[in-house]
Chains A and B, each alone.
Chain A
């Protein structure tokens, strides 16, 4: 079947179809022009015949004058025969004959002829205009091309009551011209067909190669190699554009699958440990030999606390995964008052910060609006403040007073929310890592917090089409969330 692979190619079938169409158009043109050429040639032939007949008849009438009878024949022969013979020598297929017209029941009789001897009137009769068309059996002397049926056209011109002139031509004379024409057209058709088929096959082959490569890549992706992409060839054609779009689709799918896998990984990794702890605590309480009620109560309380922590982690994992997989904030999203949202979050946390000994400094630009979810942005700001609260306390030795600065400002076409503390800061090489899930700078504090705060912040920023980063607040850390906030047209 491999040899017939072309027939399975859409492109080849397309080329085949085009070729067939072109060939039929060319054939039609050919048929029409062949017929037109034939007609033109016959017209010219008739014109020549009738001009010759006229000339010969005029010559006969001048010579014959008022004479009549047998004398006429000899006169005619003397006048016409030399011319006829002269012409015969030039053109073998020319017909020159003299007849005695049919009269009183006697058939027409040939009186004299040139090189062409056949009695033409036996094969055809003149029509109303004197034209005779006749098909003659092949004769050996019929020139090039071998013996074939000869088609003859001739003009019958009465000279007087007893004499008629027949001048004609063998139509086969034109056969050579027409044969050449026919051959040319036929080879033209052949070349067209061949080019169409070869071109189609080449195009099909190239197309098949590209499609086949893409198909193989797709198959690899399907069987699990999600990193694989469809190959590009480097021309900006429609197939390439399709491939680019497909690759973008694959990128998106890969991100989604990645996010899903993160969830399962996180569930496996970060829920298993606290679950084990929870289980162990309950088990220990059960096995204690003297299970006094206060002890059991304390154990149960611990279990509930552990369960609550677990649920908090679980919820955080889910919200991050959801933010990553969901359709983000789009142009249709309603605008919210970002200044108000940030101020609300600050207001919620101000007492907690104060109680923990932190001074809260606010620098919130008024009337900044962005497209987005107030709840998500509020939660992100809350996470940033909690983060500063947990990790932003200045080291005892520094002598700095604890302080959190919450700032909202426009910077170009972005609205930047930043929360700075005066704590130990984040070393430059860790500034990206803190945004990943479950990262804590100090492993000894692994018990505190969930470590998902900044991961959530980043997920919120990205779902709004924004970004997040950590800077040196000199001293301390500054986490910046930049959200798209197009300038209102003036």
Chain B
């Protein structure tokens, strides 16, 4: 992926760009809002990482202008402001996702990689499939290797989220947001226990194991041997 990092703090940007490059992404750095607007508007990026608070043109305003110019490159907002209002404001300005500083790098990476997915319209999809695991969104049914699997509504949603991002890391807080609509960090490993329940339903007695734990980051649904 080609990613543009718009961040006024040079050290933070260096970490970001370096980290992204290590994961085989192409990453560029724009040092402020004006610079970012100019580079992003040329439209050759798959994703933008935008710092919300920058001197001069701030992230919110920059993104609004960018969207007004017709540029629809998906954007992830980085911010130190974590109130609900601020999140809503960011999403309204045209950001696809929102991450509060300080963040864990795997979290950021998972979300940025998830961004590109959002460009493809999802509405038309009625069936999701990975290897021999199949989900019918209309019939609300899940079948693995021809065997019907009973899932609770929340488990169904959890699996749907993982399937939509199959092959990508999905973090715990991403799941908490998309499946439960919560934006806080629980002190206990609630998501892990939900995942292990789901795993026992979709993976137990089947091969290969699809739902993998990515250490230090989250989970991934993949048919490949290595995560």
Measured in the bound complex, the distance between the Cα atoms of B36 and A266 in whole Å is: 38
Q: Are A315 and B185 in contact (CB under 8 A)?
A: yes
Query: B7-15, B25-33, B190-198: which lies at the A interface?
Result: B190-198
Q: Are B84 and A348 in contact (CB under 8 A)?
A: no
A348: chain B residues at CB < 8 Å are 180, 182, 186, 190, 194
For A375, give its contact among B154, B183, B194, B197 (CB under 8 Å). B183
Shortest CB-to-CB span from B42 to chain A, Å, is 36
Query: A231-239, A378-386, A420-428: which lies at the B interface?
Result: A378-386
A378 — nearest CB in chain B belongs to which residue?
B182
Q: A311-B102, A352-B189, A373-B84 are in contact. Are A347 and B154 (CB under 8 A)?
A: yes
Q: Counting CB contacts under 8 A, is B120 at the interface? A: no
Q: Are A386 and B182 in contact (CB under 8 A)?
A: no
Q: Are A386 and B186 in contact (CB under 8 A)?
A: yes
Measured in the bound complex, the distance between the Cα atoms of B187 and A386 in whole Å is: 7
A378: chain B residues at CB < 8 Å are 182
Taking residues whose C-beta sits less than 8 angstroms from the other chain, chain A's interface range is 20 to 34
Shortest CB-to-CB span from B177 to chain A, Å, is 11
For A389, give its contact among B181, B184, B188 (CB under 8 Å). B188
Q: Which of A365-397 contact B (CB under 8 A)?
A: 373-375, 378-379, 382, 386, 389
Taking residues whose C-beta sits less than 8 angstroms from the other chain, chain B's interface range is 20 to 34
A318 — nearest CB in chain B belongs to which residue?
B82
Measured in the bound complex, the distance between the Cα atoms of B183 and A344 in whole Å is: 14
Shortest CB-to-CB span from A453 to chain B, Å, is 8
A355: chain B residues at CB < 8 Å are 193
Measured in the bound complex, the distance between the Cα atoms of B66 and A131 in whole Å is: 104
Contact with A along B52-65 (1 / 0, CB 8 A): 00000000000000
Shortest CB-to-CB span from A2 to chain B, Å, is 54
Measured in the bound complex, the distance between the Cα atoms of B185 and A72 in whole Å is: 136
A354 — nearest CB in chain B belongs to which residue?
B193
Contact with B along A303-333 (1 / 0, CB 8 A): 0000010011001001000100000000000
Shortest CB-to-CB span from B74 to chain A, Å, is 24
Measured in the bound complex, the distance between the Cα atoms of B76 and A252 in whole Å is: 38
Measured in the bound complex, the distance between the Cα atoms of B35 and A282 in whole Å is: 37
Q: Are A375 and B82 in contact (CB under 8 A)?
A: no
B82: chain A residues at CB < 8 Å are 315, 318
Instruction: Give the interface of A toward B (CB within 8 A).
Output: 308, 311-312, 315, 318, 322, 344, 347-349, 351-352, 354-355, 373-375, 378-379, 382, 386, 389, 449-450, 453
11 new A-B contacts, CB < 8 A, other than A375-B181, A378-B182, A382-B184, are A312-B187, A315-B82, A315-B185, A348-B190, A349-B188, A349-B190, A352-B190, A355-B193, A382-B186, A386-B187, A453-B187
